[in-house]
Amino acid sequence: MSTQDTQSQQQETQNPELEPQTETLEASTSDTSDVSTHIQTLEDELAHTKDQLLRAAAEMQNVRRRAEQDVEKAHKFGLDKFARELLTVVDSLEKALENAPQEASEAEQSWREGVEMTLKLLLDTLKKFGVEQIDPMGAPFDPQVHEAMSLVPNPNVEPNTVMAVMQKGYTLHERLLRPAMVMVSSG
C-alpha cells in the first residue's frame, strides 16, 4: 500500500473516533450555554433581591424617621389641651388683679401681691414649657393670631391697628394655642 492509501485508511479509522468527540463537544457547548443562561438568571435574581433589600432598608429608615418626628411632636404639643385649660386660670387671675381696688388696706395689698406672685409663677411655668403670651396692643391686626371682636372708629389711630386687648392670645412652641381677642381701629 502506498502512503496515500495508508493515510486514507487512517483517516477512515480516525473518523469513527472523531464522531463521538464531536457529539461530546456539541453536548458540552449546549451544557455551557445552559449553564450561562442559568448563571444570568441567578445574577438577575440577585440584582432584583439586592434592589428589594435596598428599598426595604430605605423604607425602614423612613418609618423610623417618621416615628421619631411623631414622638417629638407628641412631646412638643402633648401639653396643648392641658395648656388651654390653664389659660382660663391665667385669665381669672388677671381679672382678679384688674378688679382689685388700687387703694387697699394692708391685708388687701398682701392679697394682691400673693395673686401677682401666683400669676407670675404660673406664666413662668407655662413659658418654661413653650407657652408664650401674645399681647398685640398697638400692633397691626393679624388674622393669623388675632380675633377681631369689634371695629372702632378712631381718627387718632391708624386703620387696622389693635386698640384694645380683651383677652390675650397664646402660642405653644410658635403654634397658635388661642388667638388674642382684640378691638381694631377702623380709622
The domain boundary, picked from 60, 77, 94, lies at 77
Same domain, 172 and 97: yes
Same domain, 139 and 180: yes
Q: Which band of pLDDT confidence, cut at 50, 70 and 90, is reported for residue 74?
A: confident
Domain ranges, residue 167: 78-185
Q: Are 161 and 139 in contact, with CB atoms under 8 Å apart?
A: yes
User: What is the per-residue pLDDT across 24-71, written as a single tens digit (0 to 9) for each?
Assistant: 555 566 677 788 898 999 999 999 999 999 999 999 999 999 999 888
Same domain, 170 and 82: yes
Same domain, 50 and 127: no
Same domain, 58 and 41: yes
To 10 degrees, what angle do helices 106-128 and 80-99 make? 160
Same domain, 166 and 114: yes
Same domain, 86 and 54: no
Compute the distance between CA of residue 33 and CA of residue 28 in angstroms, rounded to an integer: 9
pLDDT reported for residue 20: 53
Whole-prediction pTM:
0.61
Same domain, 3 and 82: no
Q: Domain count for the chain, please give it.
A: 2
Compute the distance between CA of residue 168 and CA of residue 133 in angstroms, rounded to an integer: 7
Same domain, 68 and 85: no
User: What is the per-residue pLDDT across 116-175, written as a single tens digit (0 to 9) for each?
Assistant: 999 999 999 999 999 999 989 999 999 999 999 999 998 888 899 999 999 999 999 999
User: What is the per-residue pLDDT across 76-111, written as a single tens digit (0 to 9) for each?
Assistant: 778 888 999 999 999 999 999 998 888 878 888 889
Same domain, 19 and 93: no
